Structure 1
Amino acid sequence: FYIHYIASTLKILHEEGYIYRDLKALRASCAQPVYFSPFVKASNVLLVEGRPVLIDFGMCKNISKTGRTYSVCGTYHAMAPEVRALSGLDHDTRAATTSGYGYPVDFWGLGILLVELLTGKPPFGYRNGDIGDLFELSRGSPSTIHWAAGFEPSRDLRDLVESLLQPDPSKRLADWNATLNHPYFAGITDDMLPPEWDSDLGTEL
């Protein structure tokens, strides 16, 4: 439900010509702690009446006129390969485009967020710990996705994640209707609400 709802929010942004560019666990805000990941702090992921809310639009940009942009921004472990290629940080950019980037970067971010919320860590590690896997992405290899020990992804989940985390943006799943109607989201709609939360916070924050 949470990822589906966030995807629906990004769909609206894209329809208005904006890209978000920094999707990760600490950019999804909710008024209660999300219980499924011990690595996501309450101050980073909260719930507002059971629904996730995106915060911090500082890196959001309107690209409706050109469909592309060339500025380097975002958090390294969640940065799409085509953005990292522009940063000059990659050792090998043979499979990465250097002609800017567009809306597909947010689909990459959605894949990162999905794995991070389900397993407690991003699928390619962090910059300092697993930088080799991050560089491997620019060589066009999606096989380095890390699933947490003991976590067995379903076939539909694996297909969705690998489609979103396709290093080549031209081959990436980058259509919101196809994403929102993926078999992994079967039975999920945006008018669904999670169970009520027990809270001592009250109504004023």
Structure 2
Amino acid sequence: MKTGIEVEIKEGNEGYMKNMLLVAILFVVQASFAAPARDVKPRGVEAHRTELTKDASYKELLEKGKTGKALTAKEKEFTTKAVNDALKGTSVSATNVILMAQVKPEILPYILAKSEIVKSSESTKEQKDQAELDLKVIESGGRSLDVNSASAKNDAEIILTVSKVENYANSTVASFKADFVKALENGKSIEASVTLASKGKFDAKKLKELCI
């Protein structure tokens, strides 16, 4: 038969062990929240495209993009989450970029790749600035895009092409893109903004020739 002292000691030991276990759990939880996020090396557009095409929702998006059928709530949710996650930590608003991705799903791997460049510590300041400007071109273009118009897909293609321009003669890429964004913000159409940004050197039809 156990004495009252033995029972008290046993209960005390059990209480001590429970307290220690609770402290250990709290320590692990706090450490996991305090741990800095692991920096991800920027991947290219093709790497993101390959990864996305494994997802059934993205495949459905691409198919809808070809046929012009309306997106389901599930497909819209997929696009919204992908863009929001990608642009978190950048200065680019997701709302209009989401519209662009829903009109032209092929743009999604490009958005993911550019946002990784912006957020990665491995990127130089020049790379970050250029990638952020490319995303702002898409953001401003999405704001000017009439998703219900017959020209929506063509306009989205023009916006994406402006963002992808690498170089052209007698000008700088950054000023061309910045002027394109400014023209859109001043209420100019997407096609007119291309002409204005190029100082009349070319129009939207000639734009693809600028991409390398």
* TM exceeding 0.5: no
- Higher relative contact order structure (alpha carbons within 8 Å, sequence separation ≥ 6): 1
Q: Using structure 1 for the length normalisation, give the TM-score.
A: 0.31
Rg (Cα) greater in structure: 2
Which structure has the highest helix share of the two? 2
